[in-house]
């Protein structure tokens, strides 16, 4: 196992990684930008070094600064967390060439899965179902139009270099196609420096279900079940849960077998996530593969009883996956709410600023992963997520109840947060019945806004004053 790990990240995920390292006796080196001097990861790590100004391209994305710190502090490994450089093939490659272990997959795996149309093609050839679509890199609009016509409308135009919804266009009929195609290629070119796009038959109101996988350097594969991630807005997840209330054991088994086939075919090493779109008839199709630890990994940890950061570190240091698939069984239900500093009455726009009061919920099977604390300043330079609230219970309805209780107990003053919306979802009947798709937030926002009164926040148990 490693002696010393550099964490090339900030916020709650840096804290999350440090916690596992402490338990395993691995020393930690934090890096921080000038905006993060007061960061919790800075005070929790054994050592911490400033690597540049607030701007991510000058600090958390600065590969030479990161590697210099790793070298000077004699680290033997680097964990990229999520976001930032976590899915940058060059970072994985240079890290390893400089003699450090990269806690993640090889640069080749990152490269292949980062090219969404290449990933689609590889998955298809490994026996993973995909939606009807086009091959890679369509350049000619007339040729693309013909393929779109043969797929049938509606068709999605997706950027090969994209992912997470960037550079995507929905085309409903053939008259719109040429315009949207030129739009999409132009946007992809300026956003990613790569204008290649591909086409896919559009699936209306799908569910987003993803499978957690691990591969080790000996070719062993482990599947840690699925996560249901359909409650999103603008391609940012708000609520995740495991297992999914939408799939039968039969579909679940098929999804797991498919995921195992895919991981074996691409000889994938470390933690990965295979994202599927599920239609109303129980058919699922490969969407993307994420080659990193994901924000929502705690719901998987809660039901499988496994520390996924520990597993990542063991695999990266050359150990075998220490469990056989047959000996692991998921238990109960877990839900996560991503608490963001956002204004729910203004289309979830970021609401950075100083947190004046921060009191976290507790009690049995309530977990808070956060790097925030009272008087912490939420910087406009970074992601607006300030905490993840995760609960576990034996059944889904008990988990929803536990989440609602914990959300009401969470007190965050000074900034606006998504808590009121998440509390609303916990009381929604369709959510309770497991009846929702990726359209849920859009569909339910008007009803939420109609009943929401910012003057009487529903979420604070601390507000009760009568009779005290």
- The alpha carbon dihedral of 369, 374, 376, 377 has a sign of positive
In degrees to the nearest 10, what's the CA dihedral of 244, 249, 255, 256? 100
> Residues 438, 444, 459, 460: which binds ligand MV4 (CB under 6 A)?
438
Instruction: Give me the least distance between CB of 118 and ligand MV4, in Å please.
Output: 15
Indicate the burial class of 327 (C-beta count within 10 angstroms; 0-12, 13-18, 19 or more).
exposed
Q: 72 or 435: whose CB is closer to ligand MV4?
A: 435
To the query of whether residue 411 is one of the catalytic residues in this protein, the response is no
Q: Are 452 and 424 a contacting pair, CB within 8 Å?
A: yes
The verdict on 240 binding ligand MV4 (CB under 6 A) reads no
Using the contact rule CB under 6 A, the part of the chain among 64-72, 120-128, 160-168, 263-271 near ligand MV4 is 160-168
Residue 334: count of CB within 10 angstroms of its CB: 29
Q: 135 or 165: whose CB is closer to ligand MV4?
A: 165
Instruction: Give me the least distance between CB of 282 and ligand MV4, in Å please.
Output: 16
Site string for ligand MV4, 140-159 (x = CB under 6 A): ----------------x---
The verdict on 113 binding ligand MV4 (CB under 6 A) reads no
For the record, the structure tokens of 154 come out as 């509606």
How far, CA to CA in Å, does 38 sit from each of 5, 367, 368?
21, 23, 20
Instruction: Give me the least distance between CB of 466 and ligand MV4, in Å please.
Output: 43
The verdict on 206 binding ligand MV4 (CB under 6 A) reads yes
Cross-strand partners of 133 = 200
Residues in contact with ligand MV4, counted by CB under 6 A, come to a total of 17
> Residues 129, 152, 164, 374: which binds ligand MV4 (CB under 6 A)?
164
Q: 103 or 131: whose CB is closer to ligand MV4?
A: 131
Instruction: Give me the least distance between CB of 201 and ligand MV4, in Å please.
Output: 6
The conformation of residue 415, written as its DSSP 8-state character, comes to: S
Q: Which of 100, 113, 89 lies closest to 7, judged by CA?
A: 100
Q: 131 or 341: whose CB is closer to ligand MV4?
A: 131
The verdict on 200 binding ligand MV4 (CB under 6 A) reads yes
Q: 165 or 380: whose CB is closer to ligand MV4?
A: 165
> Residues 26, 42, 131, 223: which binds ligand MV4 (CB under 6 A)?
131
Q: Which of 2, 11, 9 lies closest to 370, judged by CA?
A: 11
> Residues 82, 153, 192, 202: which binds ligand MV4 (CB under 6 A)?
202
Q: Which of 292, 338, 402, 408 is catalytic?
A: 292
The verdict on 235 binding ligand MV4 (CB under 6 A) reads yes
The verdict on 287 binding ligand MV4 (CB under 6 A) reads yes
d(CA 458, CA 277): 34
Q: What is the per-residue DSSP string for 124-160?
A: HHTT----SB--S-B--HHHHHHHHHHH-SSEEEEET
Residue 143: count of CB within 10 angstroms of its CB: 11
> Residues 16, 120, 208, 314: which binds ligand MV4 (CB under 6 A)?
208
289: Cβ contacts below 8 Å, ≥ 6 apart = 113, 119, 123, 262, 272, 273, 274, 275
The verdict on 232 binding ligand MV4 (CB under 6 A) reads yes
138: Cβ contacts below 8 Å, ≥ 6 apart = 144, 147, 181, 196, 197, 198, 199
Using the contact rule CB under 6 A, the part of the chain among 195-203, 318-326, 396-404, 451-459 near ligand MV4 is 195-203
The verdict on 165 binding ligand MV4 (CB under 6 A) reads yes
Q: Are 140 and 118 a contacting pair, CB within 8 Å?
A: no
256 phi and psi angles, rounded to 5 deg: -65, -45
3-state secondary structure 257-286: HHHHHHHHHCCCCEEEEEEEEECCCCCEEE
Q: 113 or 372: whose CB is closer to ligand MV4?
A: 113
Q: 78 or 287: whose CB is closer to ligand MV4?
A: 287
Q: 92 or 437: whose CB is closer to ligand MV4?
A: 437
Active site positions, annotated: 292
Q: Which chain residues interact with ligand MV4 by CB under 6 A?
A: 131, 156, 163-165, 200-203, 206, 208, 232, 235, 277, 287-288, 438
């Amino acid at each position: 196992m490693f002696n010393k790990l550099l964490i090339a990240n900030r916020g709650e995920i840096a804290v999350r990684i440090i916690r596992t390292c402490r338990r395993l006796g691995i020393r930690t080196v934090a890096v921080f930008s000038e905006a993060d001097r007061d960061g919790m990861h800075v005070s929790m790590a054994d050592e911490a070094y400033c690597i540049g100004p607030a701007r991510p391209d000058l600090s958390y994305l600065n590969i030479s600064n990161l590697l210099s710190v790793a070298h000077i502090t004699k680290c033997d490994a680097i964990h990229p967390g999520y976001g930032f450089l976590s899915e940058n093939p060059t970072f994985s490659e240079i890290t390893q060439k400089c003699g450090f272990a990269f806690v993640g997959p090889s640069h080749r795996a990152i490269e292949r899965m980062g090219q969404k149309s290449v990933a689609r093609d590889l998955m298809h050839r490994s026996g993973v179902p995909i939606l009807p679509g086009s091959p890679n890199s369509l350049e000619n609009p007339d040729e693309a139009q013909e393929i779109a016509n043969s797929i049938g409308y509606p068709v999605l135009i997706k950027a090969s270099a994209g992912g997470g919804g960037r550079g995507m266009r929905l085309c409903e009929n053939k008259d719109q196609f040429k315009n949207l195609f030129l739009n999409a290629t132009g946007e992809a070119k300026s956003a990613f420096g790569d204008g290649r796009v591909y086409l896919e038959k559009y699936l209306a109101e799908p569910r987003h279900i993803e499978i957690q996988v691990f591969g080790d350097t000996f070719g062993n594969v482990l599947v840690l079940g699925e996560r249901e991630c359909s409650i999103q807005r603008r391609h940012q997840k708000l609520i995740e849960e495991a297992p999914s209330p939408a799939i039968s054991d039969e579909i679940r088994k098929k999804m797991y077998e498919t995921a195992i086939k895919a991981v074996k075919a691409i000889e994938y090493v470390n933690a990965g996530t295979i994202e599927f779109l599920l239609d109303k008839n129980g058919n699922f199709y490969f969407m993307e593969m994420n080659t990193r630890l994901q924000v929502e990994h705690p719901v998987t940890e809660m039901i499988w009883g496994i520390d996924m950061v520990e597993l990542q570190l063991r695999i990266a240091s050359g150990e075998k996956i220490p469990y056989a698939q047959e000996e692991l069984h998921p238990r109960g239900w877990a839900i996560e709410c991503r608490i963001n500093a956002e204004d729910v009455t203004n289309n979830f726009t970021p609401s950075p600023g100083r947190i004046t009061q921060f009191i976290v919920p507790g009690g049995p099977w309530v977990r808070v992963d956060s790097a925030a604390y009272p008087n912490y300043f939420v910087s406009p330079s970074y992601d607006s997520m300030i905490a993840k609230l995760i609960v576990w219970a034996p059944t889904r309805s008990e988990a929803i109840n536990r989440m609602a209780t914990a959300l009401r107990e969470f007190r965050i003053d000074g900034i606006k947060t998504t808590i009121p919306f998440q509390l609303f979802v916990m009381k929604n009947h369709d959510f309770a019945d497991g009846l929702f798709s990726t359209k849920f937030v859009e569909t339910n926002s008007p009803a939420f806004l109609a009943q929401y009164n910012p003057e009487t926040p529903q979420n604070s148990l601390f507000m009760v004053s009568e009779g005290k």
